[in-house]
């Protein structure tokens, strides 16, 4: 069956360090992999998209890698700040179909000042 797995345990990290989150998937062949940020009581907000033929993407302090052989994406927040504390969700989408995304359950990050 198809699965998207993110760590269910919160990641507690010291301010200034790099936070790294993992997204593993099974039985998908995604054209795109995306990361979203969600704050408590709010809707997810799109952060970054990486295509299957891209290895790495950066946006400010964020970096995403995509390894289609390992079926894994890593999401890095460098120089983390308390304002980065949130839940981060990965999502996959195919090339064709009805534009449905498949979401992971999310991984919480807590940045400690």
Partner 1 sequence: DVKVTQSSRYLVKRTGEKVFLECVQDMDHENMFWYRQDPGLGLRLIYFSYDVKMKEKGDIPEGYSVSREKKERFSLILESASTNQTSMYLCAVGVNYGYTFGSGTRLTVV
Count CA within 13 A, CB hemisphere, residue 52: 13
- What is the smallest separation between the CB atom of 112 and partner 1, expressed in angstroms? 23
**Is 41 or 113 the residue whose CB approaches partner 1 more closely?**
41
**Is 43 or 113 the residue whose CB approaches partner 1 more closely?**
43
Q: Which long-range contacts (CB under 8 A, 24 or more apart) does 41-46 make?
A: 44/89
Query: What is the DSSP secondary structure assignment for residue 23, as one 8-state letter?
Result: E
For residue 19, what are the β-bridge partners? 77
- What is the smallest separation between the CB atom of 113 and partner 1, expressed in angstroms? 26
- What is the smallest separation between the CB atom of 79 and partner 1, expressed in angstroms? 25
- Interface contacts to partner 1, rule CB under 8 A: 8, 31-32, 34, 36, 41-46, 49, 89, 91, 93-95, 97-101, 103-106
**Is 55 or 100 the residue whose CB approaches partner 1 more closely?**
100
Q: Say if residues 21 and 111 touch (Cβ distance below 8 Å).
A: no
Tokens of 50: 């990486």
């Amino acid at each position: 069956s198809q699965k998207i797995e993110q760590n269910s345990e919160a990641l507690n990290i010291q301010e200034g360090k790099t936070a790294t989150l993992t997204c593993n998937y099974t039985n998908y062949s995604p054209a795109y992999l995306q990361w979203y940020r969600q704050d408590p009581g709010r809707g997810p907000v799109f952060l970054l998209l990486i295509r299957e033929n891209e290895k790495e993407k950066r946006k400010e302090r964020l970096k995403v890698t995509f390894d289609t052989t390992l079926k894994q994406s890593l999401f890095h927040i460098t120089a983390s700040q308390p304002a980065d504390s949130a839940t981060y969700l990965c999502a996959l989408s195919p090339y064709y179909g009805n534009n449905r995304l498949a979401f992971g359950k999310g991984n919480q990050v807590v940045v400690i000042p």
